[in-house]
Chains A and B, each alone.
Chain A
Amino acid sequence: MPPETVTVPSATAEAALKSGGGERTQARARAARNHRILVYSSRVLLLIALIGMWEWLARTAVIDPFNFSMPSKIWDQMRQWAVHGTPQGSLWEQIWYTLYEALLGWVIGVTGGVVLGIALGRIRFLAEVLGPYIKVLNALPRIVLAPIFLIWFGLGPASKVASAVVLVFFPVFFNAFQGAREVDRNLVSNARILGASNRQVTLQVVIPSATSWIFTSLHVSFGFALIGAIVGEYIGATKGLGLLVSASQGTFNAAGVYAAMVILAVVALLAEGLLSFLERRLFRWKPAEPGTER
């Protein structure tokens, strides 16, 4: 039997098999795409429905438009701020001020939290001495410190940075501390056997394995930094989104309060996205967890 006659049917069979498999994968991809489209369109519809309902209820005066405002007014307010500026100056300047205070407070709080957390996690003596004091400070509702900071540092950015720092420091500190404490003992033993000094263990074993703990707290803590900055501005400031909120409130401009809220939400989401991007770059060594891919 010549070999060609054998290869022909087997080749066609293979092709049939391949196309069958191809169809199935295609069908699966299609189903996944359809599902995604369904989820996204449902989200958009939900948003439109909520906003539409709000607008309708306010226009028909079922809810008081003076107190509750309405989406179209909020939109007008934002456009007016963006185009003509706010009573306190241009809108971008307000956003920049708030962001600057939050970012600076966040960086200082995170640095302090990580350094102290790792130090206390590694040095038992320090943890034993400082432990109770840190617990007491943490039990304090730290937002009440904002007025004090206002007295200490004045109306400028410094008082807002300070309130952001105290809000950011604690969650980061506790996570870094926990991360340093819960390092796999095998890894530490292994590093020591391989010849690592105490310093090398801290820098090359404890810190890398605590980074995933620390990063969890970074996500939450950026939100805290924003809260610190906004509350500080709300209590007393010359510039910033918090001031915009308090000024709008002072003139019974509900649309202004909502507009500032929307702007804040956008800013926070952008910052969160940036952080997630950095995290993915930094954690290339980690196996992808099932379900994290979207």
Chain B
Amino acid sequence: MSSHTSPAIELRGTSKAFRTPSGALHTAVRDLDLTVERGEFVAVVGPTGCGKSTTLTLVSGLEEPTEGEVLVAGEPVRGIGDKIGFVFQQDAVFPWRTVLSNVMAGPRFRGVPKSEARERAREWLARVGLASFEDRYPHQLSGGQRKRVALAATFVNDPELLLMDEPFSALDVQTRALMSDELLELWGGTGASVVFVTHDLEESIALADKVVVMTAGPATVKEVFAIDLPRPRKVESVRLEPRFIEIYREIWSSLGEEVRITRERGATDAA
């Protein structure tokens, strides 16, 4: 029972340090406290290279924290959970598999019989609008289409927790807006919790219920903003609403400072 009332994700005093090739210790995330409720869409924004992605790998179980705790559904993370979906920044579709076979990969890895996996994969391919592309190989698709394949391959596993690491940053502006709308639509039917990492503040406000601003690295939570824009939203039109602009200004006054710090560091590094 308790696992049902506990939040989807809880990070308590989490730190993560890496050893750099030169042997120095690099702290990517320091003393991070963050809670994501069930069914909540949380966007994490912060300056580039501050350690946002590391936070996601900790939640996913791909990496273990150096200090502190990471709880998913009330349980400490041990290895990769089967309720997790992860959409990567770079292309992570398998280039030697066809579109259909890519979407089938998740269920097949988890031991679902072939015919059922194929059926479920076809269903999700139809939902992302790629039904007629199932026999193509990834190199025959556009960047946006490949991202759709990645989304279908993630959603076909029915994840309760969706981690997205700047998933649309490699796409052009129009495709990105379109994909954001599609993501909201797909997510709407699932009730999954989402953590969406981005450096694009507009994108984060348009998508999320809650925007978390991270400090310049090592990353820790600076401020959390609730986004009270009504749903369903359309990314292109919500941008023009006065309330959106108000929120944007408010968050930017917090985020802008961190971006400036990062920039100044970069300048001294370069010098």
A and B from one complex = yes
A residues adjacent to B (C-beta < 8 A): 184, 186-187, 189-197, 200, 204-205, 208-209, 211, 284-287
Please report the C-alpha to C-alpha distance between residue A204 and residue B95 in the assembled complex, in whole angstroms: 12
Residues on A with beta carbons closer than 8 Å to the beta carbon of B138: 285
CB interface residues, B 126-154, toward A, < 8 Å: 137-140, 153-154
Q: Are B95 and A285 in contact (CB under 8 A)?
A: yes
Q: How far is the CB of A238 from chain B (nearest CB, A)?
A: 45
* Cβ of B198 under 8 Å from chain A: no
Q: Are B106 and A286 in contact (CB under 8 A)?
A: no
Residues on B with beta carbons closer than 8 Å to the beta carbon of A186: 88, 90-92
Please report the C-alpha to C-alpha distance between residue A150 and residue B70 in the assembled complex, in whole angstroms: 64
Q: How far is the CB of B244 from chain A (nearest CB, A)?
A: 33
20 contacts between A and B (CB under 8 A): A187-B92, A189-B62, A189-B92, A190-B86, A193-B62, A193-B80, A193-B85, A194-B105, A194-B153, A195-B80, A195-B106, A195-B110, A197-B109, A285-B97, A285-B98, A285-B137, A285-B138, A285-B139, A287-B139, A287-B140
Residues on A with beta carbons closer than 8 Å to the beta carbon of B90: 186
Q: Known contacts A194-B153, A208-B96; can you find 15 more A-B pairs with CB under 8 A? A: A186-B88, A186-B91, A189-B92, A192-B62, A193-B84, A193-B85, A194-B106, A195-B80, A195-B110, A197-B109, A200-B109, A205-B94, A211-B96, A287-B139, A287-B140
* Cβ of B215 under 8 Å from chain A: no
Q: Are A195 and B96 in contact (CB under 8 A)?
A: no
B residues adjacent to A (C-beta < 8 A): 60, 62, 80, 82, 84-86, 88, 90-98, 105-106, 109-110, 137-140, 153-154, 157
Q: Are A209 and B96 in contact (CB under 8 A)?
A: yes
Please report the C-alpha to C-alpha distance between residue A285 and residue B154 in the assembled complex, in whole angstroms: 22
Please report the C-alpha to C-alpha distance between residue A213 and residue B14 in the assembled complex, in whole angstroms: 40
Residues on B with beta carbons closer than 8 Å to the beta carbon of A196: 105, 109
Q: How far is the CB of A203 from chain B (nearest CB, A)?
A: 11
Q: Are A190 and B88 in contact (CB under 8 A)?
A: yes
Please report the C-alpha to C-alpha distance between residue A154 and residue B106 in the assembled complex, in whole angstroms: 54
Q: How far is the CB of B19 from chain A (nearest CB, A)?
A: 16
Residues on B with beta carbons closer than 8 Å to the beta carbon of A211: 96
**CB nearest neighbor in B for A209:** B96
Q: How far is the CB of A137 from chain B (nearest CB, A)?
A: 29
Selected contact of A191 from candidates B60, B82, B109, CB within 8 Å: B109
Q: How far is the CB of B17 from chain A (nearest CB, A)?
A: 19
Scoring B94, B153, B154 by chain A CB atoms within 10 A of each residue's CB, the highest score goes to B94
Given contacts A285-B97, A285-B139, is CB(A194)–CB(B88) below 8 Å? Answer: no
Q: Are A192 and B80 in contact (CB under 8 A)?
A: yes
Selected contact of A286 from candidates B80, B82, B95, B157, CB within 8 Å: B95
